[in-house]
């Protein structure tokens, strides 16, 4: 990849917040339990930032004036014959899967933490380990009920107010309050389990082609890469829904008793994380037989991380996780190996241990304005850094990577941390941003809905 100079002074303006990181905000936080309360807040003339489960990594759910959280908007209605689910925006994904498990129906994309909310993940147009097969969450959203800036509730879909629909899904709360959504579900076996076959690879060669899913049989593929003494160790997983007898994998037991102390040690001491990974790679993982996990364990495997963060915060300990996700365009698949190698090598030279690299393929999405796959699919690469970190330096290195990838046609995904110099994201998202701003001018001309993230990343809303 070609390198560009990044001005540290500019990067310094990128403020940090988020999952596990300290942040300050002078905003008032208000919980609304009825539509009338929500409407009164919207009509108050204040600048509103929406919040769901508050698991966003960056400042997506932080604001400076009024932070609004819905509570009790969690009705779930299943139409089994039509395979559709209507669900309130404050329902958590844990509630949704709790209700659907055993019905033989599931939304194609469910994020990996059970305390995220419907409103939060639709606003992020989220992805999951099944995205290589099923794309982003938005693909299965049929319609939304939205409380708009004028205080009116509107339905929107691909045919009704489509500009509002395509700007709200993945719109990070900038168009209005999502009150509820209707999803198209897919059929899965009962009992619903996930069968995973794991392969070990000691190099990255051919990674892009290995990550192609088997669409015929709905078998997804994803890889986790860790480095040991500068050499990659890749675990490539192929997974599909099944109803086979259980044979669970350790990472898919998020409520296991030792999970919290293990996660905390790994978070705090990179060397422990590396030792753990080496153990998994060398000893634990078996390639000769498939793992079969229950639906909750496989889907919400990050719950252990959330629980560990909460436990650490309760006793006043730090639990920092920085994740930045990059999209490498599909037609530049050959860049994937080079990007992963170079990212790790550069960050290592700068003194950082890349805890993990997750990667998978995501197909081209629909025209959801702020979605990273709006204009084409590609390989999504997430770099994770944990523990006590020199954040200023890390921001600079991640910003440099963002710049260099941009020159190759790639972009930073908006849903995790976003460290990029001012102006870069404007350029990377230009067509979608124009679409989003047109919807914003029509539906929220006084810019009632905003967040620190919107203000910072897309400065001139």
Which residues in this chain contact ligand FAD in the complex, by CB under 6 A? Answer: 19, 49-56, 60-61, 70, 89, 111-113, 116-117, 119-121, 123-124, 126-128, 172-173, 177-178, 302, 305-306, 415, 451
Q: At closest approach, how far in Å is the CB of 302 from ligand FAD?
A: 4
> CB-wise, 21 or 228, nearer to ligand FAD?
21
> CB-wise, 6 or 109, nearer to ligand FAD?
109
HSE-CB at 95 with a 13 A cutoff on CA atoms is 20
* DSSP state for residue 220 in the 8-state scheme: E
Cβ(25)–Cβ(452) below 8 Å? yes
Which distant-in-sequence residues (6+ apart) come within 8 Å of 244 by Cβ? Answer: 193, 195, 290, 292
**What three-state secondary structure class fits 379?**
strand
C-alpha–C-alpha distance, residues 106 and 104, integer Å: 7
> CB-wise, 135 or 232, nearer to ligand FAD?
135
> CB-wise, 57 or 277, nearer to ligand FAD?
57
Q: At closest approach, how far in Å is the CB of 7 from ligand FAD?
A: 28
Cβ(375)–Cβ(432) below 8 Å? yes
Q: At closest approach, how far in Å is the CB of 451 from ligand FAD?
A: 5
Q: At closest approach, how far in Å is the CB of 94 from ligand FAD?
A: 11
Q: At closest approach, how far in Å is the CB of 230 from ligand FAD?
A: 28
Token match 């929220």: residue? 444
HSE-CB at 448 with a 13 A cutoff on CA atoms is 22
Q: Write out the H or E segment, with its range, that includes residue 401.
A: helix 391-407
> CB-wise, 19 or 291, nearer to ligand FAD?
19
> CB-wise, 112 or 404, nearer to ligand FAD?
112
Other C-beta atoms closer than 10 Å to the C-beta of 11 total: 20
> CB-wise, 220 or 451, nearer to ligand FAD?
451
> What are the backbone angles phi and psi of residue 436, rounded to the nearest 5°?
-65, -40
Q: At closest approach, how far in Å is the CB of 69 from ligand FAD?
A: 8
Q: At closest approach, how far in Å is the CB of 172 from ligand FAD?
A: 4
Sign of CA dihedral 435, 436, 437, 443: positive
Q: At closest approach, how far in Å is the CB of 124 from ligand FAD?
A: 4
* Residue number closest to ligand FAD, CB atom: 120
Q: Residue 200, class by beta-carbon neighbours within 10 Å (0-12 exposed, 13-18 middle, 19+ buried)?
A: middle
> CB-wise, 52 or 387, nearer to ligand FAD?
52
Tokens matching residue 157: 């879909």
């Amino acid at each position: 990849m070609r390198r560009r100079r990044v001005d540290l002074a500019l990067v310094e303006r990128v403020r940090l917040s988020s999952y596990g990181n300290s942040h300050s905000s002078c905003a008032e936080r208000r919980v609304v339990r009825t539509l009338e309360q929500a409407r009164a807040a919207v009509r108050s003339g204040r600048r509103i930032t929406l919040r769901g489960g508050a698991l966003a990594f960056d400042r997506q759910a932080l604001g400076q004036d009024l932070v609004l959280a819905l509570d009790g908007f969690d009705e779930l209605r299943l139409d089994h014959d039509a395979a559709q689910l209507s669900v309130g925006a404050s329902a958590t994904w844990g509630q949704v899967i709790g209700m659907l498990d055993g019905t033989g129906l599931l939304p194609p994309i469910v994020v990996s933490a059970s305390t995220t909310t419907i409103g939060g993940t639709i606003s992020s147009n989220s992805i999951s380990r099944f995205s290589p097969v099923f794309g982003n969450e938005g693909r299965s959203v049929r319609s939304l009920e939205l409380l708009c800036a004028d205080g009116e509730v509107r339905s929107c879909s691909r045919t009704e107010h489509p500009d509002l629909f395509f700007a709200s899904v993945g719109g990070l709360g900038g168009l209005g309050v999502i009150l509820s959504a209707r999803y198209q579900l897919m059929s899965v076996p009962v009992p619903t389990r996930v069968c995973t076959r794991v392969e070990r690879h000691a190099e990255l060669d051919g990674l892009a082609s290995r990550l192609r899913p088997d669409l015929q049989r709905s078998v997804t593929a994803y890889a986790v890469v860790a480095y040991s003494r500068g050499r990659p160790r890749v675990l490539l997983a192929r997974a599909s829904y099944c109803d086979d007898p259980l044979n669970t994998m350790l990472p898919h037991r998020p409520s296991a008793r030792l999970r919290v102390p293990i996660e905390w040690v790994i978070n705090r001491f990179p060397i422990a994380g590396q030792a753990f990974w080496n153990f998994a790679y060398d000893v634990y993982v078996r390639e000769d037989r498939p793992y079969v996990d229950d639906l909750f364990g496989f889907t919400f495997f990050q719950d252990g991380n959330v629980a560990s963060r909460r436990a650490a915060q309760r006793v006043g300990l730090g639990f920092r996780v920085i994740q930045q996700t990059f999209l490498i365009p599909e037609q530049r698949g050959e860049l994937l190996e080079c990007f992963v190698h170079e990212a790790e090598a550069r960050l290592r030279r700068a003194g950082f241990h890349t805890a993990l690299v997750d990667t998978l393929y995501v197909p081209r999405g629909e025209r959801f304005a702020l979605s990273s796959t709006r204009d084409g699919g590609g390989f999504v690469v997430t770099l994770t850094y944990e523990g006590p970190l020199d954040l200023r330096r890390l921001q600079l290195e991640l910003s440099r990577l963002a710049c260099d990838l941009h020159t190759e046609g790639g972009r930073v995904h908006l849903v995790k941390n976003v460290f990029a110099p001012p102006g870069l994201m404007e350029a990377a998202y230009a067509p979608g941003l124009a679409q989003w701003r047109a919807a914003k001018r029509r539906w929220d001309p006084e810019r009632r809905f905003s967040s620190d993230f919107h203000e910072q990343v897309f400065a001139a809303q």
